[in-house]
Amino acid sequence: MTVLNVAKFGGTSVADATAMGCCADIVLANPATRVVVLSASAGVTNLLVTLAQGELGDEALGAQLAQLTGIQQRILDALSPNPELQAAIYAQLAEIEAMARQARLHTDAELADRLIACGEMMSSRLFTELLCQRGAKAQWVDVRRLLRTDSRFGKASVDLDATRSLCQQEIAPLLGDTILVTQGFIGSDEHGRTTTLGRGGSDYSAALLGEALDASSIEIWTDVPGIYTTDPRLVTRARPIPEISFAEAAEMATFGAKVLHPSTLQPAVRRDIPVFVGSSREPAAGGTWIRATTRSSPLFRAVALRRNQVLVTLHSPNMFHAYGFLAEVFGILARHRISVDLITTSEVSVSLTLDHTGSQSNGEATLSDKVLAELGELCKVKVESGLALVALIGNRMSEVNGVGSQVFATLQDHNIRMICYGASAHNLCFLVGEEEAAAVVNRLHQGLLG
């Protein structure tokens, strides 16, 4: 069986020519790496999102475009001259300007996706040239030929069967002696229109391509050396985790650990592909392997935090001993493709949490006025913001005596707004005020993880 590794590099890893050089070292050091997936250079996607909103005046628009051009030009200047590459990058920048000006007249989700996707198109072209100038046989590939999605612009869903078929036809025959460089975050629908997978979707893209090509491993290279027991910026005693299970890592990604996109592990789980997370700046520092099973399964593994959460409480006397109320609520949410994180119920009300950070590529908020209006026809709606979701991640947590008392004794000085426990043996989640979040994470880590 052929050993194939798919390597993905995030925005900070391809921020400039020096950072790209470190990524090239990593790729060339592993002969099994035959597919490289890139994010846009750091800061580029945010610039493109702003342009796609179409709200800038002439001066601000010019400043954004100049900043965008500067990022690409500095990388071009660090490479040996290549008129063809330079022409391709300039053409992309001209296309960006044209779309940005169009967005000021009228913008929509389809135009936003076409514009926002340009960041990955440029970074992948530049990186391909860097590999070629290092003497490698590298080929740029437009991922829109490979990754087929539906037409939900901003957060498209992937057609797995079509994607696998396209990958096997288009690029599998080239993997023997060529490094293929492509883009994360981007796909296309059946009409060839550009779509995006939602912010942070490059990790997911790499996993999807790995699944479609029957990869032996997937590497996610970022700016931190692996997954930590919690965010080291919040807790100085946070430590790296050498090995973690798919189930634990999925909980961490879902509940706020920013090292992985929440959807990343689904393709890896389906094909049982090990995933490595490491730092492109410090590859020798090691990292975290994510596998189906691990040698140790501690009761408490990590603490995750997700800020900017919204608590929606729906109150209706009609709930009392009635059938179908929750079905109607979730029917409304399903029509707007809104997923719920936590949920608790009483006889006449239900509370649920939503991630309000704007999961679509264009930054649009999840809870729109239209959703609130539909829910308001059904019941009284109360929306609370300024909250943070804290998740304690571990193993067998709902099966071991005393877990609740341990956790809540640790947090006795803090107000807990909502609790969810028992649905999974791998997490205990609760909602707290934003202002208390850092202290809560520190207290939990110190009291339960050491």
Tokens standing for residue 97: 């300007």
- Per the annotation, binding residues are 8-11, 45, 120, 222-223, 228, 233, 258-259
β-bridge mates for residue 68, sequence order: none
- What's the CA dihedral at 98, 103, 106, 108 to 10 degrees? 120
Alpha-carbon separation of residue 376 from 125, 252, 344, 383, 401 (angstroms): 49, 33, 19, 11, 41
Alpha helices in 43-108 (DSSP H): 44-52, 58-78, 83-105
Question: Within 13 Å, how many C-alpha atoms sit on residue 317's CB side?
Answer: 0
Tokens standing for residue 221: 């290279």
Name residues whose C-beta falls within 8 Å of residue 424's C-beta, 6 or more positions apart in sequence: 251, 397, 398
- Per the annotation, binding residues for ATP are 8-11, 222-223, 228, 233, 258-259
Q: How many CB atoms lie within 10 A of CB 196?
A: 28
Of 356, 249, 283, 248, the C-alpha closest to 30 is: 283
Cβ atoms of 10 and 221 within 8 Å: the answer is yes
Positive/negative CA dihedral, 95, 44, 355, 422 = positive
Q: How far apart are CA 73 and CA 89, in angstroms?
A: 9
- Per the annotation, binding residues for substrate are 45, 120
| Element spanning 353, H or E | strand 349-355
Name residues whose C-beta falls within 8 Å of residue 102's C-beta, 6 or more positions apart in sequence: 111
Q: Which residue has the tokens 């993905």?
A: 8
